[in-house]
Structure 1
Amino acid sequence: MPRAVILTALPVEYLAVRPHLTNLQEEMHPQGTIYERGKFIANGQAWEVGIAEVGAGNAGAAVEAERAIAYFKPDILFFVGIAGGIKDVAIGDVVAATKVYGYESGKVGEQFFTRPALGQSTYALVQRAKSEARKGEWLQRLPDSPVSQPRVFVASIAAGEKVVASKQSDIFQFLRTSYNDAIAVEMEGFGFLSAAFAYPNIQAIVIRGISDLIAGKNDDSVEPEQIRQERAARHASAFAFEILAKLEMASQSLRESQEIKISATNLQKRRRLEQRQEALQAEWNLRSEKLKQLRQALVIESGISVKFQLEQQIQEEDKQLKQLEDELNSVEQALHSVNESLPKTEDIDPTPANRRIQSNSPNFFAYDDAWVGRDRLIRELSDRIRRHCRLLILVGITGIGKTALGERLAVEVADWFDNDWSHYHQENFDDEQQTSDFASVAARWLENWGELITPEDRKDPQRLLNRLIRHLREHRYLVQMDSLENILQGNEDEGWNDFKDEWWLKFFDSYLKAESCESCFILTSQDLPGQIEEVGTRSQNFWYCQPLSGLEKPEQIALFEKTELDVSFNSTSRTYLERIGSAYEGHPLALRIIAGEIKNKPFEGNVSAYWNNYGSEVEEVEKAIAEAQEGNSVGADDKWQLDRFTKMLRRNVRSRLNKTFKRLQKDAKWAYIMLCETSVYRCAVTKDFWLSHLEDWDRNEDEQKAALDALRDRYLVEEVVESDLSLLRQHNLIRGVSLEHLKKLDEAGIST
């Protein structure tokens, strides 16, 4: 969606702009400027428009224009407001500035010598203003028909820091002598256009409504000043929005004329290249999937001879994959050359390279073709990335799909980084072979991105920080950092979500406070990094935290269907699968493992056979929940084994959950004990019940609350509202592991 920014100086000007927009929402720049962002729809084209009231004066207008450009990254920039008429104009007329003189520029000696400085509006907008001035259609945007029809002038104006109130003043005489083509005077246009001049890709113009004439400026006998200013502001705003409404129509006509001229020869060549690319891409996808499966098998396999065979196959597939990538790159370069000769238009169908992941896309850790669901969340989060979110944090329990969602978002916003997958980088802190301190990671990133890093650089974290911030500001990267919990630490008093290396905190603090930035980070973590919350309090528009829960019921069914299981309505299979999905509360990892087990040997897709083998485990959970609903809310002897009733579940789910519990036990003893002891509850209970379990361990109130906060920060406790009460509960998978650890706790006789 194209984007425009409209700046005003006075409240009366801002209030005249606002009614033209819908869906307005307030936003705050880190430096304190208050914006509103809304939509303007005309002639079938939707514009995203940011507006602000920035105060009077050229200097302030320049600063705020720079700030708005960095924040919104607009295509079009307007300054809309009122002005005083010098000559030719009447009250209510509109002036679209061709240029704005900074009339106070000069040298003071025994007399004042002018050194003319000027800001120029963009040629295309000036031409559009002239066209709309002739048509007069802009008058239809006024709420009421004016008594006398205002005129539109496309001409020069002057801007300075003084209010010119009399024809007898020295300033007025100076303007008539030195800038005699200026027909209006105001106080912001020169600074505004001077700032816009540094951005040649942004079109800018100043639109003014005449609210008074220099002669009789303070004369309210005919009409009060407030009425004149409101009318002038409405006229200027209506004309500005008429220009905005017609801009897309002009570009649409240009595109249509361009498409007619497309070379038939080049189109045929492009089709042949696309067909070749399709075939190569299909083969690359198949081999890539095979390579991924081989690597997964290598991780699981323990036999030495089989591992050796797998390694040989992986090397061969990797070699074939690289050859395909080289051929794909050659085809894509040829395709790029052909496309360069065709019109640059959004209406032409994108090439296959732009419709799917490029051949140089990464081998994702978690995202694959089995992905289902979270469509609405993907739209919301991808929109945040495209707009102004610099830091997106995905949090939740292990296996809930954080990494996969981050990777899925990368695919969704690939066009945002021009489908250049060298600008997508993944750093996984589960990899113990890689150093995770800030200096090492920063140096690694900068080297990957083509910068020279010297040994002296590696010893200087501040220098690396500055270079990394500069690189991220000037180039667009999407960086995904997975398993952030592995670089966090804490203590009983302060919590367990601080960075082990303080330079990570310094980096994110500087990153969020930067005046502008092209890049975005996606962080995935089982723990909420609380220090980011603290440093981000003044940059709330630039970061966002999204907790993840399980898949919804329709998404669970879609997952089973994608695995080619029978989910037809009224079938026994669907009923069993729904019960499994409900017991696991839509946990994506667990459901994918179960779906894979059902599809493969020995069940070969027979859901009923799988249920006959393992359905009792789900029934155990259903029975306990039903008893809780009847009032029996405590079940210390429940045997929930959702994480471990098959080999694959033990290998892929139980192992990850146990790792989470071991880390909790090591870092936060009392939080671990609270989690174990509260596993006796089959349903959600009040906070007091949870806190009371540490009273038996002689923990004071502050320690009890600190333990609960630790569980909240790690998303090991879920908060729900029932009958107007805020209650706490454990996810069914978490409860199964907690019950097992509770028994171990009792057997070990752990004490304070």
Structure 2
Amino acid sequence: MNDRLVPVTPSLRRKLKSSFQQQFKSTEDFLLRWTQQADALGKSPLEADIENILYSQTQSTCVYWIINGVCQLLLHRPYRDNSLKQIPLSLKQELHNKFYQQFKVQGEIAWGEFAVAWGKHLNDSDPPRHQTLRNFLTNEERNSCEHWLVDGLCHLLLDRSFDECMEQGLENSTKLPSSASHSSKSNSQSIIPIGFDTIRWVGRNALVAKLEHQLQEDGRILSIVGMTGIGKTSLAMRLTVEPSLAIKFQESYTVNLDRTLSNFWEIARQLLGERIAQEEQLQKEPDLLVQAVVDKLRSQPCLLILDMLEEVLESDGEGSHQFSEPLFTKFFEQIVKAQQMLSRIILTSQDLPPAIAEGRYPSRAHIERLKGLEETEALELFETWDVHILEEVDLENLKRIIRVYEGHPLALRVIAGEIRMPPYNGDVRAYWYDYGDEITAVESMKDVTEERSREDKPRLDRYSIGLTDLVKKRIDRTFTRLYKAEPLACLMLCQGAVYRRAVERSAWLLMISEHSHEAQASAFQSLQRRFLLEEEYTERKVLYRLHSLIRRVALDRLAQLEVEVLPL
């Protein structure tokens, strides 16, 4: 048991507290869950230990094994020590080379395979972002890194901890001849770029061309929206490397939004520099800070990506969304109203953003909803992952997987990564032998004559470790966010999950018929604005259903929500 003291930052404490309040009613419930997972987490800590982590204003450290267990239960990942560590060039080069050897396929980085490997090896369902790795591994001037990242890379790529690597390096350095310690920097091996800017991209070529044209013209704000894992961030990254855009916007910034932080200040810090953003006058008068950021974007051609905009949105109580930080409203309005604007902004969001400037500038603010890949695009995805079709039965099984998952890119990337890696080693039939029954079961549910069932148990989001860690947990977070913001809409979603096929809007409203018609309509609109309903167009009417990946999680939560939300 590791008893070393590690820091607990205010930001981490806020995240843990927020997750605790969403998942548990009391510390006793939390400790009961810990006891149930004692084989993985170890002995249960004291109640006072948990309360100190969540609520203490003075205690800034904790023993590692306790805070690690708390992070595992509340954040579904290990504890992350964000303290900076100096990284010897030799170790950085070794990590770079190992990463290159293991995850570069056909000249491109296999990000999905890396995410699966990180999750399995480190029991961490939240792998580092592409930009984070790029900034560390390809920047020759950067000789420091957060401990959690370099330690994870050492475990994954070198099968030993960062501390063990440092100890081994120190031992080796004591064995070198004295002349070796004076070698010049020019003789050291430089970091070789490994193609982090090359995105493993398939399909959607017509969409990329359309969006590129809009950004080249007067489209100032592009909002890419859709359900979790549908490829919003990947599309945004793909646009940044489109040659015409890369030439026009040579400055590119990416800000990952987080509801626990002051997000607009982070945007200002990246665009203006920390020294300018912290000037006393700008800190005292936020409107001036907004104006300074807008002036930078107006006068210099930049491409600004704001990822996960849903983190700064909140319900307005009427089925729509508003910004939790009012500065965003002023910022976006000034962007579309400005007479001249050299920069462009790309937003990604699971929720529909509020109308900018009351929608008076439609050519300057465009919303693009993403759905799943077409069958041919999804087959190309499997091919780029070295999943080869050897016989006709392999092709048919892959097509069945694609249809059941409705072309969901994240789920298909996870499956492709699992097929490519041991023990399947690219053998589609071996994978189907293990998991084909799960696909067949979902197909059968759609074919039965009964339209409704509360007892269906599709397992598309959880039948393998990769799907559980990288797909199910993301869908769980979507439900948690919906329930916290709009419990009635969440109840409608879960009750509508009993439908095996698409039904009319009126059938969805009847799910919560105990409430007023206004409340029913508001809840339905909320589900639409969060892209949790799939539309099917038939002759003269539109039908609505849940995505295959959403339905199981909704059914799992139905009974509890009926108790908590339905009126007595």
| Cα distance between partner residues in 2 of 1:473 and 1:380 | 23
CA distance in 1, matches of 2:435, 2:521: 39
Displacement of 1:286: 3.3
Contact 2:253–2:270 (8 Å) recurs in 1: no
In the alignment, structure 1 residue 541 sits paired with structure 2 residue 356: no
- Residues 586 and 398 of structure 1: CA distance in aligned 2, closer, same or farther (over 3 Å): same
The 3 A distance-change label for structure 1 pair 328 and 638 is closer
Query: What's the counterpart of residue 513 of structure 1?
Result: 337
Report Cα offsets for 1:100-129 as digits up to 9, x if no partner. Answer: xxxxxxxxxxxxxxxxxxxxxxxxxxxxxx
For residues 212-291 of structure 1, the aligned pairs below 5 Å read: 286=100
Match for 2:323 among 499, 506, 519?
499
Matched, 1:473 2:323: no
Q: State the alpha-carbon separation in 2 of the partners of residues 571 and 430 from structure 1.
A: 46
Aligned counterparts of 2:338 and 2:451: Cα–Cα separation in 1: 52
* Contact residue 297 and residue 342 of structure 2 kept, 8 A: yes
For 1:635, which of 422, 432, 453 is the aligned residue?
453
* Alpha-carbon distance in structure 1 between the residues aligned to 2:259 and 2:395: 39
Q: Is the 8 A contact 2:269 2:277 kept in 1?
A: no
Could you tell me which of 709, 721, 724 is aligned with 2:540?
724
CA contact (8 A) 1:395 1:548 kept: yes
Structure-2 separation of matches of 1:744 and 1:648: 27
Q: 1:419 to 1:294 in 2, by over 3 A?
A: farther
Aligned to 1:416: 245
For 2:292, give the aligned amino acid.
Answer: R
For the 8 Å contact 2:239–2:245, the answer to whether it is kept is no
Distance across 1 between alignment mates of 2:288 and 2:558: 49
Answer whether contact 1:391 1:523 (CA < 8 A) is retained. yes
1:613 aligned counterpart, secondary structure? helix
One-letter identity of the residue aligned with 2:294: I
Counterpart of 1:384 in structure 2 is 214
Percent identity of the aligned residues? Answer: 33
Distance 1:312 1:543 in 2: 46
Maintained 8 Å contact 2:226/2:371: yes
The letter for the 2-side match of 1:655 is: K
Residue 441, structure 1, aligned to residue 271, structure 2: no
**Amino acid across the alignment from 2:373:** L
* Structure with bigger gyration radius: 1
Alignment equivalent of 2:226, drawn from 396, 418, 421: 396
Letter in 1 for 2:491: I
Q: What is the distance in 2 between the residues matched to 1:428 and 1:399?
A: 16
Match of 1:618 among 429, 439, 450: 439
Structure 1 partner of 2:386:
564
Query: Which residue pairs with 2:527 in the alignment?
Result: 711
Distance in 2 between residues matched to 1:621 and 1:408, nearest whole Å: 33
- Deviations along 1:579-601, one digit per CA (max 9) or x if unpaired, are 00000000000001011111111
Q: Distance in 2 between matches of 1:545 and 1:739?
A: 31
CA shift in 2, pair 1:618/1:302, >3 Å: closer
> 2: distance between equivalents of 1:475 and 1:453?
21
Cα distance in 2 for partners of 1:442, 1:538 equals 26
Q: Whose strand proportion is higher, 1 or 2?
A: 1
Change (3 A) 1:590 1:299: closer
Change (3 A) 1:734 1:315: farther
List runs of 5+ in structure 1 lacking aligned partners.
1-281, 317-321, 330-358
Q: Which residue of 2 aligns with 1:608?
A: 429
Shift of 1:704: 0.1
Q: Where does residue 734 of structure 1 map in the other structure?
A: 550
Structure 1 residue 314: deviation in Å?
13
Task: Give 1:617 shift.
Answer: 1.1
2:418 to 597, 619, 631: 597
CA distance in 1 between counterparts of 2:186 and 2:354 reads 46
Q: 1:424 to 1:704 in 2, by over 3 A?
A: same
Aligned partners of 1:325 and 1:286: how far apart in 2?
A: 19
Contact 2:215 2:344 in 1 (8 A): yes
Q: 1:542 to 1:681 in 2, by over 3 A?
A: same
Q: Using the alignment, how far apart are the partners of 1:495 and 1:431 within structure 2?
A: 20
- Residues 420/723 of structure 1: CA separation in 2 closer, same or farther (3 Å cut): closer
Rate the CA distance shift 1:430–1:557 in 2: closer, same or farther, 3 A: farther
TM-score by length of 1: 0.51
Equivalent pairs counted in the alignment come to: 418
Structure 2 gap ranges (5+): 1-95, 125-147, 156-160, 167-184
- Where 1:685 maps in the other structure, the secondary structure is coil
Q: Distance in 2 between matches of 1:405 and 1:526?
A: 14
1:524 counterpart SS class: strand
2:24 corresponds to: none
Structure 1 position 567, deviation (Å): 2.7
Aligned residue number for residue 488 of structure 2 = 670
In the TM superposition, what is the alpha-carbon distance from 1:445 to its structure 2 partner?
Answer: 2.3
Greater helix content: 2
Tell me the SS of whatever aligns to 1:480: strand
Could you tell me how far apart the structure 1 residues matched to 2:187 and 2:310 are? 37
Return the structure number with greater relative CO, CA threshold 8 A, min gap 6: 2
Distance 1:699 1:298, change over 3 A: same
- In structure 1, C-alpha distance between the alignment counterparts of 2:151 and 2:97, rounded to whole Å: 26
Say whether the 8 Å CA contact 2:454–2:555 is kept in structure 1.
yes
Change (3 A) 1:489 1:376: same
The Cα shift of 1:737 comes to: 1.6
Asked whether the 8 Å contact 1:691–1:704 carries over to 2, the reply is yes
Q: Is the 8 A contact 2:277 2:289 kept in 1?
A: no
TM-superposed CA distance for 1:438, in Å, is 2.2
1:146 paired residue number: none
Q: TM-score, normalised by structure 2?
A: 0.67
Aligned to 1:244: none
Structure 1's 284 and 308: CA in aligned 2 closer, same or farther, altered over 3 A?
Answer: closer
